[in-house]
Amino acid sequence: MNLFWKNLFGGLASTDKFERQMKQLADDMRRYTQVEKSAELAEYNELAHVVNAPEFQEKKNTLENRRYRDTEEYRDRRKVKKLAARADIRQYYDVLRSQELKDFLAFMETPEAQHLNDRKAARKSPALQRFRRFAASKAYRVYTRLHDSYLIKEYEALLEKVASDEFQEADRFWSDPHRWQHTPEYQQEQRYNTLAANPDIAFFLAEKPERFNAWRALARSFDDEFDWNTLPASRWTAAHHHGPEALRGDHSYTNERQAMGGADNVSVVDGHLRIATRRQSVTARAWDATKGFVMQPFDYTSAVVQTAANFRQQYGIFQAKLRCTGRINHACWLGGDGKLPVVKLFHYDGKVLRPGFTDGIGTHEARITGINPAKFHVYTLVWTPTEMTWYVNNLQVLRCTTRVPQEALYLDLQSFIAATQKPQEGLLEADWVRVYTDGNPSSIEN
């Protein structure tokens, strides 16, 4: 697989961009989860149910658009004003409050009232004359016509009504063109709008949670940013582990061109793990498939570090940000106690990248050219019970659904020179290594 053209035409994201995307995804998921559990979102959802209900919107529409003149309060107040302006009603109350009426009504309670219509008697009594004139007056006729009438009763009932605190409050409310703003519902709506404008809630509502589905069940089970200075302070051991018990330790192989120098070839510089392959003449113990261990001279030294004693995991996501120089072998492998399987998260053989795996049946791998291994890239393996998928940055480069390993494997970083390679110095650097569990704690061995 040649990634040059994919890189050229945008199929392969730059490492910086891919790391930003990974960080953004992690940050977004963390933020989404926090907002999802927040009291503010719960309040927003409750208010959304209230504010968007048809009855709420109908009430708002009524209060915002109903004219004051269409209200009962307006009609009652107008009717009172109209009745108060009637001449006969004004005259009625003038008479009602007059001393003349009081005197007349008092007179009508006396025995002399029987002579009110007696003209002869009236000629002899100025008082009787006065009461006769009052009884014959237009004002008194208005009084007698309206007194205890439906009109006066209605008018006085309206006067009592419009003078009540309840009416006054309702009238002030309906006469205010901004009446909606003085309701509890308006306060609910304002709070709803404030919450809707909250950046976290706006982010939550705009987000598509489906893009987190693949990550929600994951938790980081291993994380090394290489902020340590010595191997004993880390989770790594400088020694081989795979194969028979006799081969687990610090040794070399006779079919390789370098001796494994152990911790001497391992360092951390500026937060990068460095495995250096350098020109150095040594005589070291080496394993020969037919002779067993022998002492053999080497012109180069390198190293292998692994986590067999401190971390293993079955399934999950394995990632490493790596770069290498030197046309020799550089690898980040997953291995077990046996010689096989070996799962190659990253393997540069001096010419091409060869992610894949080898088991007792054979090798399944991709051959990738077109990217510069001297530049940092993020190499990822997604391992499930039924398949394994390899990525370089964001680009899938290999997928396998057969012979998927079913055992917990440890991490292994190493550089070596094959017998067929021209020996030279080289450097394998890791900026970070991260592993995520599939959500099953039993898959992790620490």
Token pair recorded at residue 412 = 């292994």
Per-residue pLDDT, 446:
66
* Averaged pLDDT, 15-39: 93
**359 Cβ partners below 8 Å, 6+ apart?**
340, 341, 403, 405
- 33: Cα within 13 Å, side-chain hemisphere: 12
Per-residue pLDDT, 145:
95
Nearest Cα neighbor of 34 from 195, 192, 201 is: 201
pLDDT at 441 over 60: no
pLDDT at 327 over 90: yes
* pTM, two decimal places: 0.75
pLDDT in tens, 70-105: 999 999 999 999 999 999 999 999 999 999 999 999
| Residue owning tokens 């907002």 | 35
Distance of CA 8 to the CA centre of its chain: 35
> What distance in Å separates the CA atoms of residue 46 and residue 188, rounded to the nearest whole number?
10
Nearest Cα neighbor of 221 from 316, 98, 105 is: 316
> What distance in Å separates the CA atoms of residue 306 and residue 121, rounded to the nearest whole number?
139
Per-residue pLDDT, 247:
81
* Averaged pLDDT, 300-328: 97
Nearest Cα neighbor of 217 from 315, 105, 302, 137 is: 315
49 phi and psi angles, rounded to 5 deg: -65, -40
> What distance in Å separates the CA atoms of residue 234 and residue 228, rounded to the nearest whole number?
7
Per-residue pLDDT, 131:
87
Contacts of 109-112 with C-beta under 8 Å, sequence gap 24+, read: none
Per-residue pLDDT, 119:
84
Per-residue pLDDT, 365:
96
| Local confidence band at 207 (pLDDT 50, 70, 90 cut-offs) | very high
pLDDT in tens, 254-287: 999 999 988 899 999 999 999 999 999 999 999 9
- What is the full DSSP assignment across 368-390? BBSS-TTS-EEEEEEE-SS-EEE
pLDDT in tens, 357-403: 999 999 999 999 999 999 999 999 999 999 999 999 999 999 999 99
pLDDT at 8 over 70: no
Are 271 and 227 in contact by the 8 Å Cβ rule? The answer is yes
Q: How many CB atoms lie within 10 A of CB 82?
A: 11
Mean pLDDT (the chain, rounded): 93
pLDDT in tens, 145-193: 999 999 999 999 999 999 999 999 999 999 999 999 999 999 999 999 9
| Local confidence band at 427 (pLDDT 50, 70, 90 cut-offs) | very high
Are 217 and 438 in contact by the 8 Å Cβ rule? The answer is yes
